[in-house]
Structure 1
Amino acid sequence: MAEHEVLQEGVHRRVVRVGDTVRRPMHPWSASVHELLRHLADVGFPYAPRVLGVDDEGREVLTYLDGDSGGDGWARVVDEAGLRAMARLLRDYHDAVAGFRPRTGAVWSSGPVPRHAGELICHGDFGPWNLVWRGTRPVGILDWDHAGPRRPIFDVAYALEYVAPFRDDAESARSMHHPVPPDRRRRLEIFAAAYGLTSLDGLADEVIAQQRQVLTLVRRLAADGQQPQASWLTDGTVAATEAHIAWSVRHRDLFGG
């Protein structure tokens, strides 16, 4: 039997590597995510894991993407080359998924929401920790559990919250590996240009709107008993998120646009 390596040992989610595969818990939305990943395979998008099936323990089986991920991702996007590469990868994903039409009644982690005009299936959690890196080059995208129909700008705004970042100088240094206070406006401009946006008008406001959308979703999932969101109500995560939104509103002028 292939050797097991624990990749995540969360209270509510255990992810293991078995040989060249990854085994993860199934969820009510996993079938929709698998349909999405199969579309990406069909169109030749090389940066997403491939679906191999479900094992005898009821876990989804995906291909393993080799490289650095998790906390290693933060330092990669401090470098402007990594920042640009991350934005280009997001644009490549949005281009690859633009033609995807999920089956009627597809269920996502955000619920059985319909797709509206101008939306596509966003990744929903496009942060540097969910990318696989080789140096400053991202070579894979992990953790598709939060995929679902949204306007493409949602993924852009979500990423910018963390890579601009929409955080104070102390947290930028402590948690995001910035050796000096970041030039947030410049970093926002770099990411937007690499993604292909032609205007920054309203972009900072989109980030704040995205922060509020995520907080609303977290509260709804927590109310439904979903984990880890339910635990976030008591462990300080929700309160910290509220504080981050308040900081973004107070310092909106740092970002221009």
Structure 2
Amino acid sequence: MSAGPGPEVLSGGLANAGAVLRHGDTVERPAPPHAAILHTHLRALREQGFDGVPVPLGVSASGLRERLSYVPGEVAVAPHPSWTWADDALHSVGALLRRMHDAAAAVPSGRADGWPADLADPEGASAPGAVVCHNDVCLENVVFRDGRAASLIDFDLAAPGRPVWDVAMTARYWAPMRGRAGLDPSHRLRVLAGGYGLGRADRAALPRVIEQATAVCRAFVERRVERGDAAYTAAYEENGRAVWDRHQTWLADHRRELTAALLAD
């Protein structure tokens, strides 16, 4: 009797490339060190009525691998398809993030210790209204169905912080301010903020928070490079220090313009 088909290798992120496997309705992947509290949090989100996260199914005896439900849909992996940049898709990302934050606000684990600090909001759990933020809502971590964002995946870098911090981290990917032909960063920030329902005070703060989040992301990459992480070193060599410098300068130079656009409504 011939063996059945083997597992499907899914497109993992930079850190998990080639290590995320699908077995039918189950996904097996490297477990983050905080898998226990993360799984508790994901279950609690679902109990609050937010179904836009995978169902945690357990951790291996070694603690090195986790099992989650497979989330059906389409993920905008590189090279990103044209629909990725549609306003409706971006609006739906903001709406999905808001739904997650609203559910997380009712989950006590938002104040728990043990979350990773890598991309966490420096104000953390002590910030007013803090929730567990995803912190890495990049294009590859959103599952779409019928052109709308339906689920978030890969919560490895989740940690408590201000909701506006998570919006800023999301904006870094979806309203690319390092330049992309045909995309207007000011317009895309407004679409994202509109989908989220971001209040006026947070809209005024968002450009500065994006600058803060960019500095945290840069420090994260440079720590990985200093540790000799081959994947991050290769990416840094391709998009190195000068690119980060230009990006951070652009954000500072355009802060007033971005703020005016966000407050125009």
CA contact (8 A) 1:110 1:217 kept: no
Q: Cα offset for 1:70?
A: 4.0
The equivalent of 2:251 in structure 1 is: 248
- Number of positions where the alignment pairs a residue of Structure 1 with one of Structure 2: 246
2:58 pairs with one of 53, 62, 68: 53
2:72 pairs with one of 66, 73, 90: 66
Change (3 A) 1:31 1:20: same
The equivalent of 1:76 in structure 2 is: 83
CA contact (8 A) 1:12 1:228 kept: no
TM-score, reference length from structure 2: 0.80
Hey, what's the Cα distance between the residues in 2 that align with 1:21 and 1:2? Answer: 14
Which amino acid counterpart does residue 189 of structure 2 have in structure 1? L
Does structure 1 residue 197 correspond to structure 2 residue 190?
no
CA contact (8 A) 2:131 2:162 kept: yes
Q: Deviations over 1:97-141 (max 9, x none)?
A: 012222986322217997214211100101222100123211111
The equivalent of 2:189 in structure 1 is: 188
Q: Cα offset for 1:35?
A: 1.8
The equivalent of 1:147 in structure 2 is: 158
Q: Cα offset for 1:86?
A: 0.8
CA contact (8 A) 1:2 1:18 kept: no
Change (3 A) 1:247 1:89: same
SS of the residue corresponding to residue 255 of structure 1 reads: helix
Change (3 A) 1:243 1:135: farther
CA contact (8 A) 1:219 1:229 kept: no
The equivalent of 2:233 in structure 1 is: 231
Which amino acid counterpart does residue 116 of structure 1 have in structure 2? S
CA contact (8 A) 1:3 1:19 kept: no
2:149 pairs with one of 138, 157, 165: 138
Q: Equivalences for 1:38-49 in 2 at 5 Å?
A: 38-49=43-54
**Identity rate of aligned residues, in percent?**
30
Change (3 A) 1:232 1:44: farther
TM-score, reference length from structure 1: 0.82
Q: Structure 1: which 5+ residue stretches go unaligned?
A: 174-180
SS of the residue corresponding to residue 115 of structure 1 reads: helix
Change (3 A) 1:198 1:117: closer
Hey, what's the Cα distance between the residues in 2 that align with 1:148 and 1:68? Answer: 26
Q: Equivalences for 1:151-170 in 2 at 5 Å?
A: 151-168=162-179
Hey, what's the Cα distance between the residues in 1 that align with 2:111 and 2:98? Answer: 26
CA contact (8 A) 2:221 2:236 kept: no
The two structures, once aligned, show a CA RMSD in angstroms of 3.0
CA contact (8 A) 1:218 1:229 kept: no
Which amino acid counterpart does residue 3 of structure 1 have in structure 2? G
Q: Deviations over 1:66-104 (max 9, x none)?
A: 111142666334211111111100100000101222298
CA contact (8 A) 1:108 1:147 kept: yes
SS of the residue corresponding to residue 138 of structure 1 reads: strand
Does structure 1 residue 102 correspond to structure 2 residue 109?
yes
CA contact (8 A) 1:125 1:158 kept: yes
